[in-house]
Chain A
Amino acid sequence: MDAIKIVLAGQPNVGKSMLINAMSGSHGLKVGNFSGVTVEKTEVCFEHHCHMFEMVDLPGTYSLRGFTQEEKVAHDYLNNEAYDVIINVLDSTHLQRNLLLTLELLKLNKKMVLALNMADEAKKEGLEIDVKQIEAIIGVPVVLVSANTNEGVEELLQRIHDVADSSERRASNIVYSDVVEEEIFKLSFFMKKKGFKLRDLSTREIAIRLLLEDKDLYKELHDEPIMIQLQPRLLEAFEHIYTHHETKDVAEIKANEYIAIAKGIRMETVKCNREKGEKNVTKKIDDILINRFLGVPIFLFLMWGLFQLTFVLGSIPMEWIETGIRLFGDAVGAGITHEGLRSLIVEGIIAGVGAVLLFLPNIIILFLGIALLETTGYMSRVSFLLDGFFHKFGLHGKSFIPLVTGFGCSVPAYMATRTLKNEKDRLITLFIIGFMSCGAKLPVYVLFIGAFFPTENAGNMLFAIYMAGALLGLVMAKALRVFVFKSKDEPFVMEMPKYRWPSFSLIWHTVYSKALSYLKKAGTFILAASMLIWFASNYPNQPDLEEDYGIKIEQASANEAEISTLNNELKLAKLEGSYLGQLGKATEPFFAPLGFDWKMTVALETGLAAKEVVVSTLGVLYAIGDEVDEEDNTLRKALNDNYSTATAFAFIVFVMIYLPCLAASMVFAKEAGGYKYLAYLFIFTTITAWVLSFITYRILL
């Protein structure tokens, strides 16, 4: 038997995803995420009463007019793809607004079932919904369901079966305003008299579409002889309608008609037993959370909490993972005798995979937090609170969360931009996240500040660096908005959904799928790229060099200190001769105007793998060994001896701005929608870093 193909359509925040979970949950779930670049539609397959159900979850849209990306996706899918039944999911507690979309969906003339979700909530709010009456008006089966309590889910599946099997469709009894009804009657009467037929449309339906300027229908009718006679009648009808609606904008007339119809249906079918004027929970919470004075501090506190959780709590499993990877690498390495192979597996592959796994705790905690903010309805309030400030810089209120996350780590920050629905807002945010100095840049800053400034100023310097980065990011956002991602301001008109308790299953599902997609996609690229860097810093083989040092080390057999110095010298020489070292030397002229020598250049280039590596590379290059950290006094002294303050400042500025680490870059490319964006980011950050570094250097020189 063929599978029944079902499309779920509905407005945002009606619990569509939860309903899919509830429907498929008890019937053997197989979820596949087919993610597009900006909007994701989910497909699910499961079996019910020996029928395969194939479900497509369209992005939530308020209408099908196609003004936003989601609306376009939904509109195109509903119009062009083959499917059997539409399930229109509605929020029972907001029927009137939800019915506006239903009215548009009805125009598609497809088999449809209405699922009035959140029935339990409606009951709690004292709403009584007359399902039979709605069915009679709209002409399609209506089922009260609750994805929360599973109430009505079985009935919904049964009704889908019935609808899919039946061939006829009941006519709807939707009544327009008196004026429009009058004109519908006249036109329909005329067409009936002429015996005119078109597809399976009734003459009433044709008349409605003509009056509401359905472009497709006009195209279809263009060559029909009846058009000649319809035309004068239509003109007259329009005049009549225009005068009554006080506007000639048919879109507005249509909207007003729909709003009136939806209101009519709601008044006829929903009985409200709630006391009037009683404040509901959402209003009470809003009084506090978006309070003019308390709102922002409360939000900042929550952000601070999430940030702390992500990076403090996250660092605990990170340490375990780090240790685990190292132990695993050592254990595996001990079993391999071939030196090159051992190095490839331990330092290339295992270390590369380790670097990917390392970010996992951060990502899981952060997404748990974001999922909570989103499902409870708080995220919209965040936009509401911060839009005023961020809008001045060409950003959206929601950009705040990815930007703040960027101070911890850019990888989850890039992923957090998914909450931004507008393509350009998202891209601008993605491009400036790098300006928020991530945790890995801290060791570099600490090292250089320690080397060039007295201890008592170190804290202030560090703060100044972070703030300068953030401010620069905001200025860059404005510049990008004005010069690159030119677009009319996205209007800020958004629904503030009701506050709801988060659903455990939905949150688990979101976090799980985000983590999995990170591991799968970023994992493969990061792995490949870290192997490339491993190769570049270890090859070509320099057997002569090793032989030379081998002899020297042997000669110094008694002197421990000398051996260690020689070992460090060997490392330095090897790095200098490697492909990476050659690259560093080759690109030295490019950095010369900034006052950087080839050692700094190499450090910056290895820093592309991970920013912490900048410190260890400098350690190697100053022959102190790669076990140094930012607190190392020998390295600080070496830096102070070799570089001027101007160079040090220029270096800090460059590190602050240039391309984020490899893992982050890969995630960036994926989130932005292609490697070409990574190329843009590379050009954008490199030029900005170079120019500002140059200015810093010249001013301080």
Chain B
Amino acid sequence: MKLSALHKGDRAIIKQIFTDESLKSRLFSFGVGRGSELSIEACSMGKQTMEILVDGTLIGLRAKEAAEIEVEKL
């Protein structure tokens, strides 16, 4: 399923990242790659942005970007 479909409190593992190279690289430098485990910490109003926790780092994402990340819910 897509990362954007998850809700606050959900946990998941990243299966694949479909974004373009620059965003992929940005995610990698945050330590977010295939196999990373994440949890959803917060969603803004209307779920336009979401905050995820990966290996101790909190990351804010826009829904559009989150829709390009394939995850497996735990």
Contact = CB atoms under 8 A, between A and B. Distances in A.
A200 B25 CA distance: 29
A101 B19 contact: no
A100 interface: yes
A67 interface: yes
22 contacts: A65-B25, A96-B31, A97-B31, A252-B34, A282-B58, A283-B41, A286-B51, A287-B42, A296-B45, A385-B44, A385-B49, A388-B44, A388-B62, A391-B48, A391-B62, A491-B19, A493-B23, A494-B59, A495-B58, A495-B59, A496-B58, A497-B58
Interface string B48-74: 110100011111111011000000000
A495 B30 contact: yes
Given A62-B30, A391-B62, A492-B62, A96 B56 contact: yes
A292 B44 contact: yes
Nearest to B35: A256
Contacts of A252: 24, 28, 33-34
Contact of A387 (B19, B49, B55): B49
A295 B33 CA distance: 30
Interface residues of B, number: 35
Contact of A492 (B49, B57, B58): B49
Contacts of A256: 33-35
Contact of B44 (A94, A295, A380): A295
A255 B44 contact: no
Given A97-B31, A391-B48, A496-B51, A255 B62 contact: no
Given A256-B35, A492-B62, A292 B45 contact: yes
Tell me if B's interface is mostly helix, strand, loop or mixed. mixed
B29 A96 contact: no
A388 B26 contact: no
B29 A493 contact: no
A388 B48 contact: yes
Contacts of B23: 491, 493
B57 A259 contact: no
Interface string B10-35: 00000000010111111111110111
Interface in A376-401: 380, 383-385, 387-389, 391
B42 A94 contact: no
A585 interface: no
B62 A100 contact: no
A101 B29 contact: yes
B43 interface: yes
Contact of A495 (B22, B35, B48, B57): B57
Contact of B60 (A258, A263, A489, A496): A496
A165 B47 CA distance: 55
A259 B31 contact: yes
Q: What 6 pairs across the A-B complex have the smallest Cβ distances?
A: A388-B48, A255-B28, A62-B29, A63-B29, A496-B58, A492-B62
A290 interface: yes
B55 A97 contact: yes
A493 B44 contact: no
Contact of B29 (A65, A282, A296, A489): A65
Contacts of B36: 259
A449 interface: no
Contacts of B41: 283, 286
A251 interface: yes
Given A65-B25, A94-B56, A496-B51, A387 B45 contact: no
